Structure 1
């Protein structure tokens, strides 16, 4: 008996094993090579903050997205709602599930012609996605912080748009560096107090990229983490607080969780009342609190906003030369 493979399984099969049909092209990704539409019209993003955010910024046609549930059980797309003013109710984007609870029936109902996910997380269940539509899984590159968003844009057929926005961002960086040469070589620490534990970060997504592009340098304890391959941060002893000294200290508050601008400092004050006096940057007003939703990802709108926020704070309270 001859078994006929499902139609979508044929589409999603590695392009190396077959030629792509008219209107499709081979696309290399973490899962191999897959035939995808030249001009996809119904795309699903398997992660709101990274995939869906990039797709919306590029003007790609998104019909479904991963999301999160608030305390009342209502789904939302983190950062997408704050940056682009879109949610599942105000857009044509369908909610297709949250972490570890993807709704494959909802994905099928959205009739996608392309599914885009992350290599590290979503590829584990690739067969279930590939049974519904061509699915690609984009990798992060520690040496190229924009490789992921570039890959998403490429899969969506929006690479030209990505290149234009990238060129604009680079021009904005050049202008900022010319306006604020004091940032070049200035040291910074990204810190956070969580449940009484001091956290120091080697990297913090878009914020780390913007600070590096402006010429800032990590404090030694954070650079040592980065040298060990730490991508984000680690909990450290409060005893190493003096090693966190820097020209500028950055912290973040989370709008989605109901944080206010004063909450990050309040958490430090509760855990270690004398912390600010012990760090010159804080005592002299160079402890800078930014919204986390604007700080961790790499959409060009976020990066441009970070450029503006960082340079504004640096100009307001310059570090001693």
Structure 2
């Protein structure tokens, strides 16, 4: 093993901190599974440890990883570091040379940077594609990113070739504490829809980029669109029927009063694919949109 010192370079994170990071990091600790770990694996970088979740059966897992890239704690060398906050002792034990985290992680930055150089990314201010660019830059995997971006661009162009997207309105919703939660752009699904040129309701466009808004049950008309997608969590064993029951619990006549539901234009998609930070998720969303929207009988009534 070489005794030469590890070369470093300056990298500015989303807090404006200029951090000296390894030019070629070898032992990355990822402190957010769906935002960071998925993207790292897709770029060919397996972190030495990752934040994760714990199933009802008590089994640690990397959310959405198994369905999007086939890897999880049980079939690779990534060590489970805990939830949020992660277990600081486990983090120390994997001896990272770079820690990549998000504002969502609860451990103080000072505690992290005492272990290794630490980058903080704000996933609410970036598209999924932009996050991948930042991660690729930090890990010197731009060549892998180039191929993934080319595939995604081809998927978007195919949607535009087949669908007159500028004439169709869309939205993405989910029930939340008795109200309807809507993001300006819902992660992977939102990025595909906006990149492809679909229209969104004015009330959704008025939400600041990276932000969300809760709509009251009597405000359904503000979030209606030609096609509406709703997300549910398969990692919690939820189903489309579970999601529909939640909507009906919010508004008992939801099926009748929400036009996209009444007319068969409310479509359910697993949240892992709709929100996962990976080009695999973007591709699944692109195919879902193409299949459902292009395959729907016209005109919309």
What TM-score do the two structures reach when normalised by structure 1? Answer: 0.84
Residue of structure 1 equivalent to 2:100: 116
* Paired residues of 1:31 and 1:137 also in contact (CA < 8 A): no
Determine helix, strand or coil for the equivalent of 2:20: strand
Provide the rounded CA distance (Å) in 2 between the counterparts of 1:128 and 1:59: 28
Residue of structure 1 equivalent to 2:161: 178
Higher relative contact order (Cα pairs below 8 Å, separated by 6+ residues):
2
Provide the rounded CA distance (Å) in 2 between the counterparts of 1:115 and 1:233: 28
* Paired residues of 2:25 and 2:98 also in contact (CA < 8 A): yes
Counterpart among 44, 48, 54 of residue 63 in structure 1: 48
Determine helix, strand or coil for the equivalent of 1:293: helix
Indicate the larger mover: 140-149 or 286-295: 140-149
> In the TM superposition, what whole-angstrom CA distance separates every residue of 1:239-280 from its partner, at most 9, and x where no partner exists?
122233211111011101110122222222344343223333
Instruction: Kindly indicate whether residue 17 of structure 2 is the aligned counterpart of residue 32 of structure 1.
Output: yes
* Paired residues of 2:173 and 2:230 also in contact (CA < 8 A): yes
Instruction: Kindly indicate whether residue 38 of structure 2 is the aligned counterpart of residue 53 of structure 1.
Output: yes
Residue of structure 1 equivalent to 2:272: 293
Residue of structure 2 equivalent to 1:218: 200
Provide the rounded CA distance (Å) in 2 between the counterparts of 1:231 and 1:81: 27
* Paired residues of 1:247 and 1:319 also in contact (CA < 8 A): no
Determine helix, strand or coil for the equivalent of 1:161: helix
* Paired residues of 1:41 and 1:61 also in contact (CA < 8 A): no
Residue of structure 2 equivalent to 1:237: 216
The Cα shift of 1:84 comes to: 1.9
Residue of structure 1 equivalent to 2:91: 107
Determine helix, strand or coil for the equivalent of 1:62: coil
Provide the rounded CA distance (Å) in 2 between the counterparts of 1:55 and 1:264: 31
* Paired residues of 2:217 and 2:250 also in contact (CA < 8 A): no
**Any gaps of 5 or more consecutive residues in structure 1?**
1-20
Instruction: Kindly indicate whether residue 294 of structure 2 is the aligned counterpart of residue 315 of structure 1.
Output: yes
**CA 1:187–1:309: 2 relative to 1, 3 Å:** same
Counterpart among 58, 73, 92 of residue 73 in structure 1: 58
Name the count of aligned residue pairs.
Answer: 295
Provide the rounded CA distance (Å) in 2 between the counterparts of 1:114 and 1:144: 23
User: What RMSD, in angstroms, separates the aligned Cα atoms of the two structures?
Assistant: 2.2
The Cα shift of 1:117 comes to: 1.3
Provide the rounded CA distance (Å) in 2 between the counterparts of 1:129 and 1:233: 29
**CA 1:238–1:123: 2 relative to 1, 3 Å:** closer
**Any gaps of 5 or more consecutive residues in structure 2?**
none
Provide the rounded CA distance (Å) in 2 between the counterparts of 1:139 and 1:123: 13
Residue of structure 2 equivalent to 1:154: 137
Residue of structure 1 equivalent to 2:170: 188
